Amino acid sequence: MSTTHAEGTPTHINFGRKVRRIRFRGAWIRFDVRGLVACIVFAATAIAIGVAALVSGEYPLTLAEVWHALTSGVEDFTRTVVVEWRMPRALAAITFGAALGASGAVFQSLTRNPLASPDILGFSAGAYTGAIIVMIVFHGTYIDVAVGALVGGLASAAVVYLLAFKGGVQGFRLIIAGIAVSAMLSSLNTWLTLTADLDTALVAAVWGAGSLNGMTWEQTGAGSIVVAILLAATLAMSRPLRQLELGDDAAQALGVRVEPTRLVLMLLSVALIAAVTAAAGPISFVALAAPQIARRVTRTAGISVPAAALMGAVLLSASDYVALHALPAMLPVGTVTVVIGGGYLIWLLIHEARRRL
């Protein structure tokens, strides 16, 4: 079938089973229809949960009231509730969830292992260590904590990479080294908390649970900008990431510089985790679950970074809504993601065991 573009350029569409090809001005554009529809549904779901977060709470609002608060510019109590209190948290849940999902997708693709994620590989623990040292030892500001989280995440990634490197980095060695480093860093974090004064230790413990409580535009704005830049860079690396999934030899035959590309992808993923940890603390299991859920919904051979990012936004937004509105007491969102992620991990282990029988 062929159609004619408004400017007279023919546009040819090949109706295959799953993959569509559109020819526009001499270039073929390929896309998976199911994956595209899934991404649209994920995005719409995340936005819908965000809107629900804006209207729900002890001061319930209607959609009309929320729209009026966003567009009228009238400085009243409703606008304060929507714009200053609820919107930073809703936006943070979407953007930070996308960062976690994308980061998990990269690591699971690099290792070709569904159990690989930044929180299991020790990078989240490293970011937490850097932040908690700044909080407890140096009594730093929010910016100082953010820098500490970034340095800690990158340092832990460097240690894991060096321990796993032996003529290249293989997924199994990376996971084993990450688990070992994560265990040691968790012990260090516990020791730091126990030796701190009570007030500082309580603040560090609450922050360490992973929470979006009290998010302000300063935290959400800065974190979202950093996440958006890192997500754009990660999406730009999607093609070499898919080539690396074919194996190092095949990727090298296709012109990919294997180790430099892998290192850049790891650095981008660690930076995504560090940005989230700096703003909200270590939020577990979203990076583990989002890529695999997205993969099963889209039914793709590999893991799609955009689909994983959008599924991460859905998971964190939904978890935060549950933590804020669906339980008798308000809990840190990390508590809810741990429960959901733990159940998912059990299911994944059972599923993998049955698949190999």
Provide the residue ranges of all domains of the chain, joining segments of one domain with +: 85-355
The pTM assigned to this predicted structure is: 0.84
Which pLDDT score is estimated for 357? 66
What band does 1 get if pLDDT is binned at 50, 70 and 90?
A: very low
Cα gap 5→40, rounded to integer Å:
25
Burial tier of 144 (Cβ tally within 10 Å: 0-12, 13-18, 19+)? middle
Structure tokens at 212: 């979006």
For the stretch 112-139, pLDDT in tens is: 877 777 877 778 888 889 888 888 888 7
pLDDT at 135: 86
Does the pLDDT value for residue 197 go beyond 80?
yes
Provide mean pLDDT across the span 175-186.
87
In the chain, % of residues over pLDDT 90: 22
Q: What pairs with residue 6 in β-bridges?
A: none
Mean pLDDT of 156-177: 78
Q: Are 104 and 241 in contact (CB under 8 A)?
A: no
Q: What is the pLDDT of residues 52-110, one digit of tens each?
A: 999 998 888 899 999 988 888 778 888 899 999 999 999 999 999 999 999 999 988 88
Closest CA to 347 of 306, 297, 307, 288: 288
pLDDT, one tens digit per residue, over 14-42 is 434 455 555 545 554 565 777 888 999 99
As its CATH architecture, domain 85-355 has: Orthogonal Bundle (1.10)
